[in-house]
Amino acid sequence: MPDLTVIEGGGERRDWDRELSQQHFEAFVVVLLRSLAAGDGSHRLTQEFFRFLEHAQDSKVPVGPVLDGAIRTLHEQAFDSDGGDGYEAEKKHVLQAALRVTAESMASDSLARARRSKREDELRHAIDERVLGSERRSRENGWSYVANLTERLGKWPARRK
């Protein structure tokens, strides 16, 4: 890339710096989510965070627009799909509901428990809709998702009298 001069208030270099800072932050968020899911701290997490901070500081890009752009991009990558079928919508709903439960599980304010309970209900509902959608689609194809799923449970236990 040619050496570009920073023009106050805009210019190619500033746009490129903002895009690069956004990519660093996106990488940080991905590593952060992986670390949360794995339950461990990560040297890579620290590296990604410092890459973002160093680039943002060195290039003097405004951090607010970088974060907004990164969140929008990550949301699109995680939840916007080309397929408009029921499966994709159900999957999106389950993933978003699970993230909301996770966020409220980490919150510590006085209303967090109430929000978490509501989010857990929404997650259960999203999972139910996912199972029902899978059953609908499987029946259209002549089989049963639920029947295949419940076969793994084995026989019903004997009823106590």
CB atoms within 10 A of CB 74: 16
Question: Could you tell me the pLDDT band of residue 161, with boundaries at 50, 70 and 90?
Answer: confident
What pTM does this model have?
0.74
pLDDT tens sequence across 23-76 = 999 998 998 988 888 888 778 889 989 999 998 899 898 889 999 999 999 999
CB 112, CB 100: distance < 8 Å:
no
State the pLDDT at residue 5. 43
